[in-house]
């Protein structure tokens, strides 16, 4: 697969198996309690047993304390922590040191200044993920997974010191354009392979991965 794919927000054996069999590079488990994609660390640990060692298990947390992260890792061994909140560069450093795991910092994007702000995380995180920043007027907006895209042109010709992923409303209808406009070599989808928030569709997962393999 030329475009690496992370399927995020997985909650069932069937969807995990579909992502694994379809060639996903990363599987995401959501530990943000307010999200419809939330699952307990215990369930994530059980689902993780279905994941081969060459596929990364990613844990999504939002402004989590050390105690919360430690509790998650006790039950669900992970390969990468995805920080999807307002974590500062200093906090990223603390988490990497405390848990000895790679960290991917999510950058919420609405304007060019948000891309500039990402530079502060290049030296302290292992990966960057660019996602759409929800508008302030959006009711009950989540940190991510809102089925929103941002202006992909903001990433055109940008170069970063760390590997980066593109997220934000990606689905089979817009994936090819998103990759072409941004030059992304890795993408993340959650809402784009769902029937409704929190309910993944096995066929949509398979179709998304199949399309990514052709790009």
Structure confidence by residue, pLDDT tens digits, 104-161: 999 999 899 999 999 999 999 999 999 988 666 556 655 655 567 889 999 988 999 9
**Residue ranges of domains in the chain, CATH in brackets:** 4-212 (3.20.20.70)
Q: How far apart are CA 163 and CA 187, in angstroms?
A: 11
CB burial of 83-93 (b: ≥16 within 10 Å; e: otherwise) equals bbeebeeebbe
User: 147, exposed or middle or buried, with CB in 10 Å at 0-12, 13-18, 19+?
Assistant: middle
CB burial of 30-40 (b: ≥16 within 10 Å; e: otherwise) equals bbbeebbbbbe
Q: pTM higher than 0.95, yes or no?
A: no
58-78: average pLDDT: 97
27-34: average pLDDT: 96
pLDDT score at 149: 86
Q: How far apart are CA 135 and CA 140, in angstroms?
A: 11
pLDDT score at 2: 80
pLDDT score at 137: 57
Q: Are 7 and 19 in contact (CB under 8 A)?
A: yes
Provide the mean pLDDT of the chain. Answer: 93
10-24: average pLDDT: 98
Q: Are 137 and 95 in contact (CB under 8 A)?
A: no
Instruction: Report the range of poorest mean pLDDT among 1-5, 61-65, 153-157, 192-196.
Output: 1-5
196-207: average pLDDT: 96
Give the dihedral of Cα atoms 178, 163, 129, 95; nearest 10 deg. 170
185: left (phi over 0), alpha (psi -120 to 50) or beta: alpha
204: left (phi over 0), alpha (psi -120 to 50) or beta: alpha
pLDDT score at 133: 84
> 213: helix, coil or strand?
coil
């Amino acid at each position: 697969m030329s475009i690496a794919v992370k399927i995020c927000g997985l909650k069932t054996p069937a969807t995990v198996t579909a992502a694994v069999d379809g060639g996903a590079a990363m599987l995401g488990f959501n530990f943000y309690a307010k999200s419809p994609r939330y699952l307990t660390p215990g369930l994530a640990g059980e689902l993780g047993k279905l994941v081969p060692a060459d596929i990364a298990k990613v844990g999504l947390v939002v402004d989590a304390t050390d105690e919360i992260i430690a509790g998650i890792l006790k039950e669900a061994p992970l390969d990468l922590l995805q920080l999807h909140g307002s974590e500062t560069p200093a906090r990223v450093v603390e988490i990497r040191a405390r848990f000895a795991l790679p960290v991917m910092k999510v950058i919420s994007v609405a304007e060019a200044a948000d891309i500039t702000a990402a530079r502060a995380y290049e030296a302290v995180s292992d990966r960057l993920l660019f996602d759409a920043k929800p508008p302030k007027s959006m009711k009950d907006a989540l940190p991510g997974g809102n089925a929103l895209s941002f202006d992909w042109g903001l990433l055109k010709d940008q170069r970063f010191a760390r590997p980066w992923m593109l997220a934000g409303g990606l689905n089979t209808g817009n994936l090819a354009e998103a990759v072409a406009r941004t030059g992304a070599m890795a993408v993340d989808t959650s809402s784009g392979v769902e029937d409704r928030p929190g309910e993944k569709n096995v066929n949509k997962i398979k179709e998304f991965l199949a399309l990514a393999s052709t790009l």
